[in-house]
């Protein structure tokens, strides 16, 4: 192993931090220089993320722990790389490249410090995935949110400003809850190191357990706000719709940060069989997830604008993942991780595609067309047949991309959305892993029913929107689409196709990830036994 290999764990934090800091020294007129620094940064992040996934996925390696300051655990600030964090780092790097390349066409020029805020957002997201203690999780959350405040307002406009101010207020309240929850947990346990918490929580006395669980509940509410669980999700569709296309595309993974933390902490702190609070909050996640899917599918059906359709699709995705976590089944969790990757790539591509599709349309005319159809006032005049007129190439590409997004959101075969749902259904209906005497629980039936209904609602909504968008008479000009705008959409959809083709190896990775999450002792031991640089193993904990 080379000298710099152990330091790759901190690279996903250092690279965007350095890139963002360097760009502060450049004038806003030096757009080309800023764009080059930003592109190099996200490409380096992608290379490092791939290396970290390969390292985490190797059967002979343990979780990589990086001790900042070379202090021993649990006193050190630790960064922990395992299969789950490596997967999320790779996903954020892919979305970061797609959103940044798309933004270079026009959105990067719509306001100051776009590239700096974008890099700091990536830094906060990556730090949240890697950190091994709750206080630094709060720090990285705040870095992520502070950058997102500027990005959601990027491009100005009254609608964007109004939605952005609501977004800021909600997240400031969530940050306050975060601090309260962390304070309560620290007051009971005396530590914020996640591995140390996992070791101490089973030893908490009955007199302090109520305070501990109150702190965990308050902390959970803060994460559920970010994950978008109903009824805490009222801000999400409006904010994501109002944000610029590349911002909404990268925001697709921000809701998954909340999902990641809930999955990590629920299994690490309260998932062990020895813990008195084993299963704490699982019912809330299950029924909250079902309610979120229900709310999301109703919103998808009711949405006339494509942006709101995409926003409610985020809620359907979050609700599905929350319900899957609440079921507490290793096989379901593995399928949910596959679904997380597929749905995040799809929704991100859909947000980018929406802007390209709507360029050649009049929004007011589209609303009037839907209203006229609903009241039976559609224009019945016959039009002259246009024989031999070819569909413009741009519209053909957009139409194919739109159809692919529809298939993925609906979970239809043969693409990855279907594979993910089929995997979860198989795990729910597998008698060997169910318990309860092999009986299928009523909760599993509810999850299956709502996932099928959510797919049907997405199919109906996307078909309706596709007809109005691509089958209407072409009176407006064909939208002008640049290669650097359609290329990110095509790449994200191609990755969904590759998920389908390589479903076997990907699912093996997800299954190993889920099994490791449900056996957190390896994570705890990896943190406590992490060697200090230049210190013999026997003295590592002294």
pLDDT (tens digit per residue) in 117-142: 999 999 999 999 999 888 899 999 99
Whether 298 and 261 share a structural domain: no
C-alpha closest to that of 113 among 140, 82, 151: 151
Q: What share of the chain is helix, strand, coil (3-state, %, to 5)?
A: 75, 0, 25
Average pLDDT, integer, range 93-109: 90
Q: What is the pLDDT of residue 388?
A: 41
Whether 229 and 305 share a structural domain: no
Whether 176 and 311 share a structural domain: no
Q: What is the pLDDT of residue 362?
A: 52
For the record, the structure tokens of 427 come out as: 């795990």
Whether 325 and 211 share a structural domain: no
Average pLDDT, integer, range 483-495: 91
Give the pLDDT band (50/70/90) at residue 478. Answer: low
Q: What is the pLDDT of residue 132?
A: 87
Highest mean pLDDT range out of 29-33, 414-418, 469-473, 480-484? 414-418
Whether 74 and 116 share a structural domain: yes
Instruction: Find the range with the poorest average confidence among 74-83, 95-104, 475-484, 531-540.
Output: 531-540
Give the pLDDT band (50/70/90) at residue 476. Answer: low
Q: Pairing state of beta strands 77-81 and 64-68?
A: antiparallel
Q: What is the pLDDT of residue 536?
A: 55
Whether 387 has a pLDDT exceeding 80, the answer reads: no
Share of the chain above pLDDT 70, in %: 85
Q: What is the pLDDT of residue 369?
A: 47
Whether 229 and 291 share a structural domain: no
Highest mean pLDDT range out of 29-38, 106-115, 472-481? 29-38
Domain that holds residue 219: 1-275
Of 469 and 128, the one with more pLDDT: 128
Enclosing H/E stretch for 488:
helix 483-501
Whether 272 has a pLDDT exceeding 80, the answer reads: no
Whether 262 and 298 share a structural domain: no
Q: Is residue 334 part of a domain?
A: yes
For residues 332 and 353, give the distance between their C-alpha atoms in angstroms, rounded to a whole number.
31
C-alpha closest to that of 243 among 138, 304, 319, 166: 166
Q: Is residue 184 part of a domain?
A: yes
Q: What is the pLDDT of residue 338?
A: 94
Give the pLDDT band (50/70/90) at residue 336. Answer: very high
Contact 398, 454 (CB under 8 A): no
Q: What three-state secondary structure class fits 64?
A: strand
Q: What is the pLDDT of residue 473?
A: 52
Q: What is the pLDDT of residue 370?
A: 47
Enclosing H/E stretch for 527:
helix 521-528
Q: What is the pLDDT of residue 540?
A: 47
Whether 520 has a pLDDT exceeding 80, the answer reads: yes
Whether 531 has a pLDDT exceeding 80, the answer reads: no
Q: Is residue 376 part of a domain?
A: no
pLDDT in tens, 39-63: 999 999 999 999 999 888 775 555 6
Q: What is the pLDDT of residue 71?
A: 78
Give the pLDDT band (50/70/90) at residue 273. Answer: very low
pLDDT in tens, 198-213: 888 888 888 888 888 8
Whether 7 and 67 share a structural domain: yes
Whether 290 and 271 share a structural domain: no
Q: What is the pLDDT of residue 477?
A: 64
Domain boundary among 260, 275, 290: 275
Whether 344 and 482 share a structural domain: yes
Q: Is residue 115 part of a domain?
A: yes
Domain boundary among 219, 244, 275: 275
Whether 277 has a pLDDT exceeding 70, the answer reads: no
Instruction: Find the range with the poorest average confidence among 10-19, 24-33, 402-411.
Output: 24-33
Domain total in the chain: 2
Q: Is residue 380 part of a domain?
A: no
Q: CB under 8 Å, gap of 24 or more: what pairs does 377-385 form?
A: 383/473
Instruction: Find the range with the poorest average confidence among 2-11, 78-87, 268-277, 369-378.
Output: 369-378
Q: Is residue 386 part of a domain?
A: no
Whether 220 has a pLDDT exceeding 80, the answer reads: yes
Give the pLDDT band (50/70/90) at residue 155. Answer: confident
Q: What is the pLDDT of residue 292?
A: 94
Average pLDDT, integer, range 101-105: 90
Q: What is the pLDDT of residue 468?
A: 83
Q: What three-state secondary structure class fits 357?
A: helix
Average pLDDT, integer, range 476-490: 81
Whether 297 has a pLDDT exceeding 50, the answer reads: yes
Instruction: Write down the pTM of the prediction.
Output: 0.88
Whether 450 and 327 share a structural domain: yes
Give the pLDDT band (50/70/90) at residue 300. Answer: very high
Whether 479 has a pLDDT exceeding 80, the answer reads: no
Whether 98 has a pLDDT exceeding 90, the answer reads: yes
Q: How many CB atoms lie within 10 A of CB 464?
A: 16
- In this structure, what DSSP letter does residue 193 have? B
Largest CA distance in the chain: 87
In 74-231, which ranges are E strands?
A: 77-81
| Whether residue 414 has a cis bond before it, omega within 30° of 0 | yes
Q: Is residue 372 part of a domain?
A: no
At residue 490's C-alpha, the angle toward residues 413 and 356, to 5°, is 110
Domain boundary among 275, 292, 322: 275
Whether 28 and 88 share a structural domain: yes
Average pLDDT, integer, range 21-48: 89
For residues 309 and 443, give the distance between their C-alpha atoms in angstroms, rounded to a whole number.
27
Measuring CA to CA, how many Å separate 5 from each of 48, 337, 368?
10, 27, 59
Q: What is the pLDDT of residue 63?
A: 62
Share of the chain above pLDDT 90, in %: 40
Q: What is the pLDDT of residue 396?
A: 80
């Amino acid at each position: 192993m080379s000298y710099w290999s152990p330091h790759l764990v901190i690279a996903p934090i250092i690279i965007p931090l350095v890139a963002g800091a360097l760009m502060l020294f450049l004038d806003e007129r030096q757009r080309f220089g800023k764009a080059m620094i930003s592109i190099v940064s996200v490409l380096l992040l992608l290379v490092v993320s791939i290396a970290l996934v390969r390292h985490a996925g190797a059967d002979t390696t343990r979780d990589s722990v990086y001790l900042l300051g070379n202090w021993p655990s649990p006193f050190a600030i630790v960064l922990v790389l395992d299969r789950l964090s490596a997967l999320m780092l790779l996903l954020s790097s892919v979305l970061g490249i797609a959103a940044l390349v798309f933004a270079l066409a026009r959105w990067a020029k719509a306001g100051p410090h776009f590239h700096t805020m974008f890099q700091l957002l990536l830094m906060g997201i990556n730090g949240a995935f890697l950190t091994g203690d709750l206080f630094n999780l709060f720090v990285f959350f705040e870095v992520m949110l502070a950058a997102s405040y500027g990005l959601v307002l990027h491009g100005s406009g009254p609608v964007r400003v109004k939605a952005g101010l609501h977004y800021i207020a909600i997240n400031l309240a969530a940050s306050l809850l975060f601090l309260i929850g962390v304070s309560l947990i620290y007051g009971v346990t005396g530590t914020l190191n996640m591995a140390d918490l996992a070791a101490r929580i089973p030893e908490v006395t009955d007199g302090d357990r109520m305070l501990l669980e109150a702190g965990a509940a308050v902390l959970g509410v803060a994460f559920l706000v970010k994950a978008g669980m109903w009824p805490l999700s009222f801000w999400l569709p409006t904010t994501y719709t109002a944000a610029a296309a590349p911002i909404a595309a990268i925001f697709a993974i921000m809701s998954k940060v909340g999902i990641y933390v809930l999955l990590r902490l629920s299994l690490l702190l309260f998932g062990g069989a020895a813990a008195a609070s084993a299963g704490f909050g699982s019912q809330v996640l299950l029924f909250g997830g079902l309610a979120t899917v229900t709310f999301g599918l109703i919103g998808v059906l009711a949405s006339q604008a494509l942006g709101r359709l995409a926003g409610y699709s985020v809620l359907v995705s979050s609700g599905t993942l929350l319900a899957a976590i609440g079921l507490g089944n290793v096989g379901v969790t593995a399928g949910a991780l596959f679904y997380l990757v597929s749905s995040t790539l799809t929704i991100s591509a859909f947000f980018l595609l929406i802007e390209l599709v709507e360029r050649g349309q009049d929004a007011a005319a589209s609303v009037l067309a839907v209203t006229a159809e609903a009241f039976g006032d559609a224009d019945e005049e016959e039009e002259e047949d246009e024989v031999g007129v070819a569909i413009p190439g741009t519209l053909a590409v957009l139409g194919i991309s739109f159809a692919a997004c529809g298939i993925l959101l609906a979970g239809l075969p043969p693409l990855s959305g279907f594979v993910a749902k089929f995997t979860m259904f198989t795990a729910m209906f597998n008698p060997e892993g169910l318990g309860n005497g092999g009986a299928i629980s009523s909760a599993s039936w509810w999850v299956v029913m709502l996932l099928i209904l959510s797919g049907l609602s997405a199919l109906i909504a996307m078909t309706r929107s596709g007809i109005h968008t691509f089958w209407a008479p072409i009176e407006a000009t064909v939208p002008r689409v640049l290669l650097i705008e359609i290329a990110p959409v095509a790449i994200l959809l191609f990755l969904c196709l590759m998920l389908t083709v390589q479903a076997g190896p990907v699912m093996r990775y997800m299954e190993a990830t889920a099994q490791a999450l449900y056996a957190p002792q390896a994570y705890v031991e990896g943190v406590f036994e992490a060697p200090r640089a230049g210190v013999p193993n026997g003295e590592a904990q002294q």
